[in-house]
């Protein structure tokens, strides 16, 4: 029997949060292992840039198909399947002995993770009313930052004890366990046995798409015109460009950051894990502040242009501060500049709220996939660009590049996105 005052949507949000932590664990453990595996496998800086980039090749290219799959396949089935597959690929990384094999495994992880964020956004759109959605998105997005802040010191200790191969094996086993947990406990709103009628009404009346779960009706057949809709509107292009620029800062921290501290700033490996956790904590605070403040402004009656855009614009401005690290050799100041930049990146990371609010209702997964596809191209381009920029031993050009991307993102959200309202495809 359904309880009267259930708040099961928060349980679902907690599950997404843990999933995001594991998702980013398997994306970023390569950055922790980079210095050690470079030495053992004889990999240079440019090759390392391609390894960092390989995840993004398949992840970005498969975002649109991943969004389509997210719209059509039950989340209860899709998520544990792709999670198990990317976890197995992560585990096998601990057994590689060549550059090519590692490159292929990184690409396979990107392929299997491709539907994950469109699925996250779709689940939140089903489970949360619009006036709680920025907070929900901020909460699960914060998993990537808090998870890495807490895990970086732990993962460096695991690698110190078990080697970089042991790090990949442990990471893969964690993902396999959570895939089983997801399958057992996740349900969409209308299929959840303990969600109350009152909670379902609250979600639906608030704009949550509880009826659009792909289980109570025959899924709409995909049409090529749906794909054209994803590229037709200027405001969507503003989101896409902004997400690419936002991703540039994120990708630096997820790939080259530990190498920057160890190889270019001369920090001890163990110390680097603890220093590296500070910007992640700053980003975690940023993304939570953005979500709660954005929803607070909505509830106070402020327009979407103010309540939703303000955190992103301020965040992009702060992200430009990463350039300041080029002008000091003091470790504390370097971490301060990087923390300000990543705090700003966290503020801007609620950009997924625009997909939820702007995309046509029938294609939220597809638009989310397109959004993440173009944003994901930063994971393809940025690591390689940095690899070439730093091959001479100077990291300064790379930080200037990241700062410039933040500026372009600021311009995109300010001038291109326009009014925040759902697109009516009938017009």
Which tens digits make up the pLDDT trace of 123-163?
A: 888 888 877 887 788 788 778 777 777 777 888 888 888 88
Residue 35 has pLDDT above 50, yes or no: yes
* The CATH homologous superfamily of the domain defined by 8-209+223-415: MFS general substrate transporter like domains (1.20.1250.20)
Which tens digits make up the pLDDT trace of 98-133?
A: 889 999 999 999 999 988 888 888 888 888 887 788
Question: Distance of CA 273 to CAs 26, 264, 368, Å?
Answer: 16, 15, 33
Give the separation between CA 351 and CA 245, rounded to whole angstroms: 12
Lowest mean pLDDT among 5-19, 32-46, 258-272: 258-272
Higher pLDDT, 32 or 422: 32
Average pLDDT for 336-363: 83
Residue 214 has pLDDT above 70, yes or no: no
Give the separation between CA 38 and CA 48, rounded to whole angstroms: 7
Residue 36 has pLDDT above 70, yes or no: yes
| C-alpha atoms less than 13 angstroms from C-alpha of 109 in its C-beta half-sphere | 32
Nearest to 368 by CA among 242, 240, 241, 248: 240
Residue 213 has pLDDT above 50, yes or no: no
Structure tokens at 381: 């381009």
Residue 208 has pLDDT above 80, yes or no: no
Which tens digits make up the pLDDT trace of 258-306?
A: 888 887 887 766 666 677 788 988 988 888 888 778 878 877 777 767 7
- DSSP secondary structure of 154-180: HHHHHHHHHHHHHHHHHHHHHHHHHHH
pTM: 0.71
Residue 293 near residue 311, CB atoms below 8 Å: yes
pLDDT given at position 57 = 87
Nearest to 67 by CA among 335, 412, 364: 364
Average pLDDT for 83-97: 92
Residue 168 has pLDDT above 50, yes or no: yes
Q: Quickly state the pLDDT bin for 230 (edges 50, 70, 90).
A: confident
Q: Quickly state the pLDDT bin for 332 (edges 50, 70, 90).
A: confident
Helices of type H across 186-233: 197-205, 224-229
**What's the CA dihedral at 27, 30, 31, 33 to 10 degrees?**
150
Average pLDDT for 167-174: 92
Give the separation between CA 184 and CA 177, rounded to whole angstroms: 11
Nearest to 36 by CA among 131, 183, 207, 164: 164
CB atoms within 10 A of CB 328: 12
Neighbouring residues of 82: CB distance < 8 A, sequence distance ≥ 6: 112, 113, 114, 115, 116
Q: What is the mean pLDDT of the chain?
A: 83
Average pLDDT for 73-96: 91
**What's the CA dihedral at 165, 150, 318, 263 to 10 degrees?**
-40
* Residue ranges per structural domain of the chain: 8-209+223-415
Structure tokens at 73: 């396949």
């Amino acid at each position: 029997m359904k309880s009267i005052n259930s708040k099961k949507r928060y349980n679902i949000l907690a599950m997404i949060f843990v999933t995001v932590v594991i998702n980013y664990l398997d994306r970023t453990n390569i950055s922790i292992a980079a210095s050690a595996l470079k030495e053992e496998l004889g990999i240079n800086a440019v090759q390392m840039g391609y390894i960092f980039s390989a995840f993004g090749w398949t992840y970005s290219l498969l975002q649109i198909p991943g969004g389509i799959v997210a719209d059509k396949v039950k989340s209860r089935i899709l998520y544990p399947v792709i999670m198990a597959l990317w976890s197995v690929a992560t585990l096998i990384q601990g057994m590689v002995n060549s550059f090519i094999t590692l490159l292929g495994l990184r690409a396979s992880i990107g392929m299997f993770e491709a539907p994950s964020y469109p699925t996250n956004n779709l689940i939140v759109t089903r489970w949360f009313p619009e006036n709680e959605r920025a907070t929900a998105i901020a909460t699960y997005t914060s998993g990537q930052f808090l998870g890495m802040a807490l895990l970086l010191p732990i993962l460096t200790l695991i690698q110190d004890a078990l080697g970089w191969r042991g790090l990949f094996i442990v990471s893969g086993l964690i993902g396999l366990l959570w895939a089983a947990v997801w399958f057992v406990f996740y349900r969409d709103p209308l299929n959840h046995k303990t969600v109350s009628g009152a909670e379902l009404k609250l979600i639906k009346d608030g704009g949550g798409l509880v009826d659009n779960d792909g289980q109570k009706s025959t899924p709409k057949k995909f049409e090529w015109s749906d794909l054209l809709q994803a590229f037709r509107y200027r405001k969507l292009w503003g989101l896409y460009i902004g997400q690419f620029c936002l991703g540039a800062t994120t990708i630096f921290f997820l790939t080259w950051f530990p190498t920057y501290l160890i190889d270019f700033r001369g920090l001890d490996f163990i110390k680097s894990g603890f220093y590296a956790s500070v910007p992640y904590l700053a980003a975690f605070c940023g993304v939570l502040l953005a979500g709660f403040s954005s929803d607070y402004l909505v509830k106070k009656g402020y327009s979407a242009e103010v309540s939703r855009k303000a955190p992103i614009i301020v965040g992009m401005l702060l992200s430009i501060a990463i350039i300041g690290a080029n002008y000091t050799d003091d470790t504390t100041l370097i971490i301060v500049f990087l923390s300000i930049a990543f705090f700003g990146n966290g503020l801007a990371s609620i950009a997924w709220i625009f997909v939820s609010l702007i995309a046509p209702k029938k294609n939220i997964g597809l638009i989310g996939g397109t959004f993440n596809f173009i944003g994901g191209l930063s994971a393809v381009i940025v690591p390689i660009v940095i690899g070439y920029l730093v091959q001479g031993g100077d990291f300064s050009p790379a930080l200037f590049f990241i700062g410039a991307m933040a500026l372009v993102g600021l311009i995109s959200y300010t001038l291109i996105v326009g009014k925040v309202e759902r697109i009516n495809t009938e017009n």
